[in-house]
A and B are shown apart, each in its own frame.
Chain A
Amino acid sequence: MIVGLREFSLREFLKKNLDLITGIFAEIGLTVLVMLLSFALCLLILIFS
């Protein structure tokens, strides 16, 4: 197990799991998009009131 840890390479890990990591960011990005859109609409309500 210690040997395994010594051989651990962050670059290799990222390369192997690139789809998974970018997928997670895509899903979190979607939620951020919803929040930004929502806040922009709240500002619009105030501006046009």
Chain B
Amino acid sequence: MWGAMVLTPLTKEDLRIVGFNLSRISYVTGFVLFLPIIVAIFFNEFDNIPYFLIGSAISFILGSILYHFLYTQAEMELKHALVMAAVAWLFAPLLASIPIWLSGSMASPLDACFESISGFTGTGLTLAPDIDHMSRSINFLRHFLQFMGDGIGIIVISLSILGRTEMSSVLAFKGEAKEVGIRPSIVRTSRIIIGIGVMFLAIGTALFTVAGIQEGLDPGQAFFDGLNHAMTGYATGGFTVHSQSLLYYHSLWVEVAAIVIMIIGALNFNLHYAVLGGKRSEILRNLEVRVLLFVMVAFGFLVSSNLFSSGLYPTAESLFRKGFFQVISAQTTTGFQTVPPVHLMLVWPVFSILILSLAMLLGGSANSTSGGIKMLRVGVLFKSLVNEIKRSLLPRSAVVVGSFHHVEETPLSDKIIRGSAVIAMGYLILFTMGTMLTVLHGYGLEDSMFETASALGNVGLTSGITSPSMSPLLKVTYMFLMWAGKLEVIAVFVLIGFILLALRRGIK
């Protein structure tokens, strides 16, 4: 079948469609880079304003150039949408790295790009040498990038504000690894996603602020920290305003607020829409929620038991705040830490590190802000495995029919199983390659697996490998993994195919 397939050569119109749609992403990035100016004015950081203005102006000018020179009314096809998403998730972080680099907060332009990709993809790995003394407006930008990039999605924002035709929009959604189906209209769907995000941002900010005040922070500081952590918690991003992550607060209440917002961020948008629309029972009937909760609690139990038997944490409270918290942070792909990286690397037992790596690789819910293979696919693959076993045990004439509940009863079709298997396989290939490259840099196997799973799953937990002093090759590798993980692998392979096709056959 593959042999008979003829690939159509690329045309200039293909490039025009991709470029024209990128103009919208450029406009949205310009808006994202403009907003921290308000924070800079509020905190008297007037020196930073030109950096934001330059970044924003470059984005708007680039957007205008792409819009006017590549204007087209042609509809996007799936290949355009996937390539557009893949390029957009490099293009927007590149633009956002401009103010970060100009502010002098990072050691090199490469580090600024790394920080920006980590922000946009909702990963949370950082190369910032001194977060505690970073200016507040730049720090706000890091968190805001996670909320706008991963919490809501730059393509979703561009569709809701600058919406195109229905077909182009549906395909653009697919490119960003988001499902369609909440509402018939894609613009309305985009606005619902934004509404849900803003609502949980408000709830998260309130929870973190109250927890901060409870721990003795002054209300202004508690609100600033709370707003930033709510943005990155909901986005399951994991950037924090302190270099010690949430360990800085040594507060049970801050950790409880974080758990609430991390789990909510890891739930499927379709589930949010169903539950907030009155279908409350859906929350316990949904296959994905069941798998997510089962895996989270089971992994938490295994890690906590292992930590207890190693004599590291002797009380129930410390097991909950270290063991379970880190598993929830890993599984939801957030990356908030209550354990210093050096403890993870040198003190935690290997078994716990491997369980955390697995949790990061499996990830949260599909069509949510979290990364990884996703629980829906894990559930689908597990159900298909059970069906295969049944099929082998039953008589040949027996028919095994499978289905699963995900907002509605869905038949377990071969197409769904194949889609899940292909994405899971893509993740495993990249995970193996990333681990091998990290090992080649002289790090231990379990730490390499941990850091690779963290980058690929868009998590942000670190065992200490990610630092400004790591090799440029490893920085670029992790940037690639963060980008590929965010796009759920497929769009990356389509982009590579697009480039290879252009190289082999030229552009007609």
* A residues lining the B interface (CB < 8 Å): 19-20, 22-24, 26-28, 30-32, 34-35, 37-39, 41-43, 45-46, 49
Contact = CB atoms under 8 A, between A and B. Distances in A.
B316 A42 contact: yes
B276 A42 contact: no
Contacts of A30: 263, 283, 289, 293
A15 to B, nearest CB: 13
A47 B284 CA distance: 29
| Majority-rule SS of B interface residues | helix
A26 B283 contact: yes
A19 B282 CA distance: 13
Given A43-B316, A46-B308, A23 B300 contact: no
Contacts of B276: 19-20, 23-24, 27
Given A27-B267, A35-B320, 8 more contacts: A23-B276, A28-B203, A30-B263, A30-B283, A30-B293, A41-B297, A46-B315, A49-B308
A28 B324 contact: no
Given A38-B300, A45-B305, A45-B308, A23 B277 contact: yes
| Majority-rule SS of A interface residues | helix
A42 B275 contact: no
B121 interface: no
Contacts of A43: 316
Interface in B414-439: none
B259 A23 contact: no
Interface string B346-362: 00000000000000000
Contact of A38 (B260, B272, B283, B297): B297
A34 B296 contact: yes
Nearest to B297: A37
B264 interface: yes
Nearest to B264: A27
A38 B320 contact: yes
Contact of B259 (A34, A45, A46, A49): A34
Contacts of A45: 301, 304-305, 308, 316, 319
B285 interface: no
Interface residues of B, number: 33
Contacts of A20: 276
A41 B300 contact: yes
Contacts of A41: 297, 300-301, 304, 324
Contacts of B442: none
A32 B207 CA distance: 13
Contact of A28 (B199, B260, B296, B304): B260
Interface in B191-207: 199, 203
A49 B304 CA distance: 12
B259 A31 contact: yes
Nearest to B255: A35
B278 interface: yes
B247 interface: no
Given A26-B280, A27-B267, A34-B297, A42 B272 contact: no
Contacts of A19: 276-278
B328 interface: yes
Contacts of B296: 34
B256 interface: yes
A28 to B, nearest CB: 6
Contacts of A35: 256, 259, 320
A38 B328 CA distance: 10
Nearest to B315: A46
B275 A27 contact: yes
A22 B443 CA distance: 49
Contact of A42 (B263, B293, B324, B328): B324
Given A19-B277, A42-B316, A46-B316, A27 B283 contact: yes
Interface string B117-129: 0000000000000
A23 B293 CA distance: 18
Contacts of A34: 259, 263, 293, 296-297, 328
Contacts of A32: 260
